[in-house]
């Protein structure tokens, strides 16, 4: 029968034969590790592995002093470890590799995506930040928020070599070309589709694209218990799922932060909010499948 040992490491000039158990110590582990040890000795005789000292180590979640002494008699080092700490450390390490797990949105922004249209139009005509503020008769903070949102959905960029000025990206230029001049106040259907396609294809581009898709994801998760999903239940779960329950402590912050992203997802056709309930649209379900696939791929890649 083929035998598969848990871990075998070469450390300096010695081999470490490690039997890792996520359970308390039991006596049969001694027979198991000794069996592996004897197999390794045979391989050493056949020159199939390095000929050096083999240290036998057992890791378990619980072990008494008597069990530790019993292992010593078998020339085995028995080590007790804290499973909770191991799993926590593993997750923190994994989290560092998975950038999207650390994405957290800000409560500031615009209430509706269409509000950035007039600002983008002025920007396309070469207007500066100060000129845009004056023409739109809005405060610098309001215009700054609009440009920040446009930046986070890939419509504009700002680079130092351009004297710090904002400029339209290729996506932003394509978006404005889709304008039909019917309304200067809001985006038309093709323009919303242009943005929604970008969000769907690039869910980890920024905190906004990720949060928009998280709206869809959270509704789907909660729908398993009840559908349509009550907005209050969605809001509470959404805030926690994005790790904002500690920073969005005040009800107004939770209300504002959730409201923005729900509006964005609604405008882009992923969801529908009707009264105090939220629904997934067919477009939202298709986007959700793409989001879940991309997330799975990122999680797998983070392990390598």
Of the candidates 159, 97, 50, 48, the one whose C-alpha atom is nearest the C-alpha of residue 299 is: 97
Written as tens digits, the pLDDT of the chain (304 aa) is 555 667 899 988 899 999 999 899 999 999 999 999 999 999 999 999 999 999 999 999 999 999 999 999 999 999 999 888 887 776 666 555 555 555 566 656 789 999 999 999 999 998 989 999 999 999 999 999 999 999 999 999 876 444 457 889 999 999 999 988 766 778 999 999 999 999 999 998 998 999 999 999 999 999 999 999 999 999 999 988 887 776 777 777 778 878 999 999 999 999 999 989 999 999 999 999 999 888 888 777 766 5
281 sits in the region (left: phi over 0; alpha: psi -120 to 50; else beta) called beta
- Rounded to 5 degrees, φ, ψ at 165 are -80, 155
Does the model's pTM come out above 0.85? no
Residue 40's contacts (CB-CB under 8 Å, 6 or more residues apart) are 8, 15, 17, 49, 54
Cβ-count burial of 302 within 10 angstroms (0-12 exposed, 13-18 middle, 19+ buried)? middle
């Amino acid at each position: 029968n083929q035998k598969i040992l848990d871990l075998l490491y070469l450390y300096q000039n010695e081999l470490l034969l490690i039997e890792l158990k996520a359970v308390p110590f039991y006596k049969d582990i001694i027979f198991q590790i000794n069996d592996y040890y004897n197999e390794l000795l045979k391989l050493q005789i056949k020159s199939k592995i390095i000929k050096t000292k083999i240290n036998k180590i057992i890791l378990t979640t619980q072990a008494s002093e008597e069990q530790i002494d019993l292992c010593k008699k078998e020339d085995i080092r028995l080590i007790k470890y804290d499973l909770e700490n191991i799993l926590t450390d593993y997750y923190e390490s994994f989290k560092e590799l998975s950038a999207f797990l650390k994405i957290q949105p800000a409560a500031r922004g615009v209430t509706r995506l269409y509000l950035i249209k007039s600002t983008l139009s002025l920007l396309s005509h070469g207007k500066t930040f100060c000129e845009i503020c004056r023409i739109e008769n809005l405060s610098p903070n309001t215009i700054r928020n609009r440009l920040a949102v446009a930046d986070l959905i890939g419509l504009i960029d700002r680079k130092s070599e351009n004297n710090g000025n904002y400029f339209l990206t290729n996506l932003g230029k394509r978006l404005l070309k889709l304008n039909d001049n019917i309304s200067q106040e809001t985006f038309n259907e093709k323009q919303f589709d242009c943005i929604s396609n970008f969000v769907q294809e690039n869910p980890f581009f920024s905190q906004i694209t990720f949060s928009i898709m998280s709206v869809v994801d959270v509704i789907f998760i909660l729908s398993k218990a009840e559908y349509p999903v009550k907005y209050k239940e969605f809001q509470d779960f959404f805030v926690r799922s994005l790790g904002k329950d500690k920073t969005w402590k005040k009800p107004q912050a939770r209300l504002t932060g959730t409201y923005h992203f729900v509006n964005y997802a609604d405008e882009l056709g992923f969801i529908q909010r009707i009264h105090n309930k939220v629904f997934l649209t067919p477009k939202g379900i298709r986007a959700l499948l793409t989001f879940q696939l991309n997330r799975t791929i990122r999680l797998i890649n983070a392990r390598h």
